[in-house]
Amino acid sequence: VGIEEAYQDRAILTKKTGAGHGLSSSSQPAIMAEMLDHLALEPGMRVLEIGAGTGYNAALLERIVGPEGRVVTVDIDPEMASRARRALKGSRAKVIIGDGRNGFAPTAPYDRIIVTASHDSIPHAWLEQLRPEGLLEVPLRMRGSDSLQLIPTFVREDGRLRSVSVVVGGFMPIRAAADDLSPYWPALNVTRADGAEVKQLLSLYGQAVRSLSRAAARRLVATACSEPRVRRVSGRSSLDSFAVFLAVTAATRQLVGAMDEHRFYAGLISRDGTSLALLASWQSISRILVFGGDQAADELVALIEQWKGRGRPGVADVGMTVSFRNGNSTIRTRWRGR
C-alpha cells in the first residue's frame, strides 16, 4: 500500500480468501472515527478490542486512553496478531491471539469493549467482562441477512444491554477459527455452464435462503437464472436509510443479500422460490431488479411505501436491547418514539 492509498478514506484489505473476500483489513477511517466517537472514551479507561487487524485502531485507542489507561486487542488469526504486534512495538497496547468471542478475562473488567468484526449475537463473556455502565460497540448482522449491518453502542444495565446510539457500517465476519471460512459461504450459488466454462451469475446470502425447502431452493435457482426486469419506484431516496428500515423491519424469512461480479445487493425472496427482488443500486431505491414473479417486488415496494409513510426513519431512530437467558442473547430492535 502506497502512502496515497493509506491516506484515502477507504478500508484497505490486508488479507483475503482465495475467492477474494476480506479476512482482515484496516477499517475505513471515517467509520473508525465515528465508532471511536460513539465509544465516549476518556483518559485512564481500560479498553478491550476484538479484531486487532493491523493494530491501527488499537494505536488510536491507546493514544486516547493515555498512559493511565490500558488497551488489549485480540485477533483469532496468529498472522494478523503478530503483524499487529510488530506495528504496535513501543506502544503499551497488548496483542492477544485468541477467539474474541470469549473476550479476554485476565484483564477484565473493561470500561469499553469495541468489536471490529461483525457478529449476529452477543457472547455472554462480553457482558460479564464489561463493568456496570460500561459501553460495548459491535457491528451486528441483522435478521439472518449475513450482510445488512448496524453498529449499536450498548450500555450495560445489570444483566442486559441497551443501545445509546446506532451507526451504519459493514465489517467482515467473526470467525470461529483462523481457517474457518464458513461465514463467507453463500447460502446459494447460481451458476451457468457456458461451454466448458462455469459462469458465476449470483451468490445469495442469508438465513432466508438457507431455510428454504429443497424444492423451493431449486425454484429460486431457476428464478435467479432468469433475465431480470426493472421496476421503477417513484421519488428519489437514498438506500442508506431505507437499508436500515429493511434491516429492522423485513421478515427474516425473506431478507437476502446478493452478490454478482460487480456489487452487493439487498432484497427479498418469496418463500416458494418463484420470485426475487433486489435493489439495483446502493445509492438509490428508484430501481428494483425483478426476477421471476412479482410477489417479492410487490412486498419490497410495500416496505418502501411503509417507510415513506412513517417519515423515512433512519439510523437515528433505531433502539436496540439485548437480554440473556442461559448465556444466549436475544436482540430486540424497535423504532424509537414512532
Ligand X SMILES: C[S@@+](CC[C@H](N)C(=O)[O-])C[C@H]1O[C@@H](n2cnc3c(N)ncnc32)[C@H](O)[C@@H]1O
Task: Provide the CA 120 distance to its chain's centre, in angstroms.
Answer: 8
Residues 6+ apart with CB under 8 A from 31: 151, 167, 169
Q: How far apart are CA 289 and CA 187, in angstroms?
A: 20
In the complex, residue closest to ligand X by CB? 53
Which lies closer to ligand X via its Cβ, residue 85 or residue 175?
175
Which lies closer to ligand X via its Cβ, residue 54 or residue 129?
54
Catalog residues that contact ligand X under the rule CB under 6 A: 23-27, 50-51, 53-54, 56-57, 74-77, 80, 99-101, 116-117, 171-172, 174-175
How crowded is the C-beta side of 1, counted as CA atoms within 13 Å?
Answer: 15
C-alpha cell at 267: 432484497
Residue 121, helix vs strand vs coil: coil
As measured in angstroms, the least distance from the Cβ of 175 to ligand X is 4
**Residue 294: CB atoms within 10 Å:** 15
Q: How far apart are CA 178 and CA 76, in angstroms?
A: 6
Can you name the residues that pair with 156 across neighbouring β-strands?
161
As measured in angstroms, the least distance from the Cβ of 29 to ligand X is 10
As measured in angstroms, the least distance from the Cβ of 146 to ligand X is 15
Which lies closer to ligand X via its Cβ, residue 174 or residue 220?
174
**Position 45, amino acid:** M
Q: How far apart are CA 335 and CA 311, in angstroms?
A: 12
C-alpha cell at 63: 493514544
CA separation, residue 127 to residues 65, 98, 132, 173 (Å): 21, 18, 9, 20
How crowded is the C-beta side of 153, counted as CA atoms within 13 Å?
Answer: 19
**Residue matched to cell numbers 483469532:** 76
Which lies closer to ligand X via its Cβ, residue 95 or residue 250?
95
Which lies closer to ligand X via its Cβ, residue 80 or residue 258?
80
Q: How far apart are CA 311 and CA 334, in angstroms?
A: 15
As measured in angstroms, the least distance from the Cβ of 275 to ligand X is 35
Q: What are phi and psi of 169, to 5 degrees?
A: -170, 180
As measured in angstroms, the least distance from the Cβ of 96 to ligand X is 9
Q: How far does the chain reach from its first CA to its final CA, in angstroms?
A: 46
Q: Which residues are catalytic?
A: 24
Residues 6+ apart with CB under 8 A from 331: 121, 122, 140, 320, 321, 322
As measured in angstroms, the least distance from the Cβ of 41 to ligand X is 15
